[in-house]
A and B are shown apart, each in its own frame.
Chain A
Amino acid sequence: MAVASAPQAHPLAAAYRLVAVVAALVLLMGLVLLVGESPTAVFSALIGGAFGTADQIGRVVNTLTVLLLCSAGLVFTFNAGLYNLGVEGQVTMGAIATTFTLRLLGDVLPAPLAIALSIAAGALGGVGWGLLAGVLKVYGRVSEIFAGLGLNFIAQGAAIYLVFGPWKRPGVASTSGTEPFGEHLWLGTFGRTEATPVGVALALASLLFTIVVMQRTYFGLRLRAVGHNPRAADILGVSSSRHLLGAFALCGVLAGVGGALQVVGNYHRLIPTISGGLGFLGLLVVMLAGFNALFVLPIAFFFSALNVGSLQLPLVLQRVDSSLSGVIQGVLVLAALIGRGLAQRRAGGTA
């Protein structure tokens, strides 16, 4: 079940990629027409929804920070040959650990210190959940796909339990989440938008870290070697189990910080669906990027804009649901996969 190798550069690749994108766009326009709406109206509603006001741009930036953290982490696991579907649970556990720490220390310590500690706790929560999947994979021989899915269900159950149980709002328990934290425990923002400088800094730093580690260090090189052929790596003296665990841990840290940002930067409380599907979306981002960290930023930005822009769709155009963003993202990645496969087949190479 090895992850397919990164796309090799050959003359046909670019042509196939172009054809794939065009086919995807035609298909998407067809779908929009099918529900009885004009593609241009949808397009302008999406742009307006994402970039119409400073508030909306702020929301795009906030979504982007979390998506970047998840995607950066997933670059490690993908290159190690892993389908880390547990990333959703790692975000959720990070958010739970952050909420726990803020509830504990928020009114005891100075606010900046409490926030910093709570983000660190988020990283710990994520790394613990990531390593759990890693240990199951390396020592228990359980496929990381199913270990991850199971851990996602458990993390989601834990969040739901806390929101409706011990941490419920005084009087009422509801899907709107726990009692919001006081404003002194919110991350500072750019002007009056929701975008947080701390989040942006953390996300960009993590992406830079990922690019440097993957392209400039022996660890990155060995990780790729393990991803291509764990047995050969073992024979050459590169411990595959240690590198696999390392990839799970790195992804867990970054996803956990992403979860922390969801709490201290976006929602200011714990909600049952705190991960917002951004972990799974990160998997799509990295797949579309061909596992290359350099392409993560533009793709993640585009996907974040789609997510935020689509929220407005049902308000502007009655027949168009906000799930269109997921449809667009999925169709694009599917087209890219098929395009890559066709190019490889034409070139006579094997996947």
Chain B
Amino acid sequence: MSSEQILIVLATAIASATPLVFAVIGETISERAGVINLSAEGTIMFCAMVGFAAALATGSVWLGFIAAAVVGALIALIVAFNAITLRQSQIAVGFVLALLFSDLSSFLGVPIVRIPGPTVPAFPLPLLSELPIVGRLLFSSDVVVYASYVLIVLTWVFFYRTRAGLTLRAIGEQPNAAFARGADVVRLRYLYTLIGGALMGIAGAAFSLDFKAGWSFRHTGGYGWIALAIVIFGGWNPLRAAFGAYLFGVLQSLASVAQDQFQGVPTQVLNVAPFALMIVFLVFTSAGWLDRLLMHAPAKVRRRVLQALHTAPPAALGKPFVQD
């Protein structure tokens, strides 16, 4: 591959990863507070439809994004009510919502299938886009992409450098201890689940108004499931989750390049391959086998690798909060 080709692959990867970045950061926030929002597949797909429809109706892409965020938060509200107030299984309600809103996007989206609509305008950042290589790679796209960079950094700072972020992590790890120290666990879990849902809604709009502009039947199929997997891959850390999203973007981008190189392999297979690969990688890194494999490595290497790959989920993830 020439350096020009590599640059194209990376640029495509960043573009295709951007919606996923919003989704994985949203899910990470929600799960860090202790609530799994398994509805991602349905939320992203439905909000992609809603965002596009709203932008089409109003002529403003930004109103499209706002509509998608609001609807994403409303779907998350159903999850939160079931999980936090009714203390029901988060998996059950999330799974039902994933299927329900996927189908609802097809049902309500009929009038806007394959209609041309507004898209986010390109906006190369002055000066920064002039930089060699990085300028073309990072700073020559649009506001949505730049917003995703800011979101990653802000979320990391919030998690690890602010008091509120500490509380957020505490209610997902030790809700009773956090409660004893004055945190309103129920209210905060609602808040972060809704914020997470709004970000997933934005992820949907980032598909239909930017990366894969427009709406068609099951437009974002598969991306919700992959976002959930990437959150685990990212060890519930916003930086690593974003890295996972970009890695997935690179896989997809390489798959589209490979279509020219391997004529024998049907394109349809290459389209599914990144999804399968990503999950295989997740399974491999989270499985206990890695420990056994690393037993033979020098202690220093072992510690490093385990630190990099091994993470535990928030201790209270998926469990309803019952005051001691």
Contact = CB atoms under 8 A, between A and B. Distances in A.
Interface in A221-273: 272
B188 interface: no
Contact of A31 (B107, B232, B272, B273): B107
Interface residues of A, number: 56
B91 A83 contact: yes
A344 interface: yes
B287 to A, nearest CB: 4
Interface stretch (B27-35, B97-105, B144-152, B159-167): B97-105
Given A157-B272, A350-B322, A351-B320, A330 B103 contact: yes
A280 interface: yes
B92 interface: yes
A157 B86 contact: no
A272 B82 CA distance: 35
B276 A154 contact: yes
Given A140-B288, A283-B95, A330 B86 contact: no
Contacts of B108: 31, 34-35
Contacts, number: 160
Interface in A1-38: 1-4, 31, 34-35
A161 B107 contact: no
Interface residues of B, number: 50
Nearest to A334: B96
Interface in B109-125: 110
A174 to B, nearest CB: 10
B87 A326 contact: no
A48 interface: no
A1 B91 contact: yes
B179 interface: no
Given A327-B104, A338-B86, A173 B266 contact: yes
Interface in A280-326: 280, 283-284, 287, 319-321, 323-326
Contacts of B129: none
A118 interface: no
A318 to B, nearest CB: 9
B282 interface: yes
Given A4-B88, A321-B106, A341-B82, A150 B268 contact: no
A165 interface: yes
A105 interface: no
Interface in B125-140: none
3 closest A-B pairs by beta carbon, nearest first, are A330-B100, A150-B279, A326-B103
Interface of B: 38, 78, 81-82, 85-89, 91-93, 95-97, 99-104, 106-108, 110, 222, 225, 228-229, 232, 264-266, 268-269, 272-273, 275-276, 279-280, 282-283, 286-289, 318, 320, 322
